[in-house]
Amino acid sequence: MMNAWIPEGQLRWLSGCYFFFFAILGALIPYLGVFLEYRGFNAAEIGFLMAILMGTRIIAPNIWAMVADRTGRRTELIKVGSFTAAVGYLSFFYDGGFFYLALSLTFFTFFWNAILAQMEVITLETLGDKSNRYGSIRSFGSVGYIVWVIVTGAAVNWCGPQAVLFVGMVLFAGLFVCCLPLSASNGIKESNRSAVPLKLSKPIIWFLLSAMLLQASVGPFYGFFVLYLKQAGYSEAMAGFFVALGAFSEIFMFAVAPKLLRRFSVRILLMTGMGVTALRWLLVAFAPEDMALLALSQVMHAFTFGLVHAASIQFVHRHFAQQHRSKGQALYASLSFGVGGALGNWISGHLWGDGSQTWLVWVFAAACAVLAMLVVLALPEERSSSSRQRPLTATE
């Protein structure tokens, strides 16, 4: 851990990595469904292909976490992953049909999804006891998401859905370039890795189940929100504005989350975020034509992701032993964003059907959020962070 001296150059390049990683998310997640529809796929096929993008999060972070713990070479893994993802993305330009695109998505998203957890570890190791600065580094990711979700929406509006291909290529190249100057890892291995075996207690199991259900509720947003707004009469550019509004609201939540964690328990914050999320999807289901209510539903993203994620990271930090925290983060990411997101996309594709009753997709999303909130009730009540320790920021 570095304490007295923090290499500012390393932090600048890490900020760039966050910017481009989440810019890719902003360019692909909202508009990939539009692009796939343009390629001629139906709703069920789109849901399956979008599920692959989420599903690679199930395996990739866990495999790379094990490799990183054994070798200590996290920076090298990030460089290899970003390069392979960029090269693999080129295969997406070829219109080879459903199974070809499924293989293409599986390949390049595997390497892309694998590197985020290692970026988090390197950032925190670089900051050392200045980890309170993490939020300012991570916020570059939110800025990248906001900028490129708007830019991509405008590009699709002006040039057509095929613009998604070229925007994605630029962003994957940018991610690789920002990874290149990162300092090589010091090669320190987790020598006491097996000293304390990893155990999943009942609270951890209930927490992971609730996280999976919540992300299942978010799955329709990732795969079908822009298509849904297009059906309601909005342009791709306007849809991009609404998506960006949600990302902007999460920046605000990340800023206030440490104060909330000091005052309230993780259990209360999780339930609050999940309850607001259920209300959010009902607004989307029944008031898509009302721009004010639609904007309000997007501001609620501060709770869906910002508050829930901050509280979840705190939960993982408390309930996993120090030598297993990277595995805990990988497990949380793979089961929630991976399994939950994939299931949400896949089920939504079938509920979408012929597009005549698309509101059912959002009722399904709201039901998943309610179930997640009920599962959180099984978690034991804990004291707020003020009586335990300084709360962590977004992914500290």
Query: What is the pLDDT at residue 183?
Result: 84
Can you give the pLDDT at residue 251? 84
> In the structure, what pLDDT confidence band is assigned to residue 193 with cuts at 50, 70 and 90?
very low
Average pLDDT rounded to a whole number, residues 273-300: 97
Q: How many CB atoms lie within 10 A of CB 389?
A: 12
* End-to-end C-alpha distance for the chain, whole angstroms: 14
Q: What number of CA atoms fall less than 13 Å from residue 42's CA on the CB side?
A: 7
| Radius of gyration, alpha carbons of the chain | 20
Mean pLDDT of 4-21: 83
What is the topology classification, in CATH, of domain 8-188+198-387? Answer: Growth Hormone; Chain: A; (1.20.1250)
| Rounded mean pLDDT, 137-165 | 90
**Region 335-359 average pLDDT:** 88
Least-confidence region, from 97-111, 137-151, 161-175, 323-337: 323-337
Residue 199 CB-density burial (10 A; 0-12 exposed, 13-18 middle, 19+ buried)? exposed
Rounded distance between C-alpha atoms, residue 293 and residue 285, angstroms:
11
Q: Measured between alpha carbons, how far is 243 from 227 in angstroms, rounded to an integer? A: 12
Please name the residue that has the structure tokens 């990739």. 60
Give mean pLDDT, residues 318-341: 78
Banded pLDDT at 384 (limits 50, 70, 90): low
Please determine, for residue 222, whether its predicted confidence score (pLDDT) is greater than 90: no
Q: Please write the tens of the pLDDT for every residue from 29-79.
A: 889 989 999 999 998 899 889 888 878 888 888 888 878 777 778 889 999
What pLDDT shows up at residue 274?
A: 98
pLDDT value at residue 313:
74
CA distances, 186 to each of 68, 71, 246 (Å): 12, 10, 38
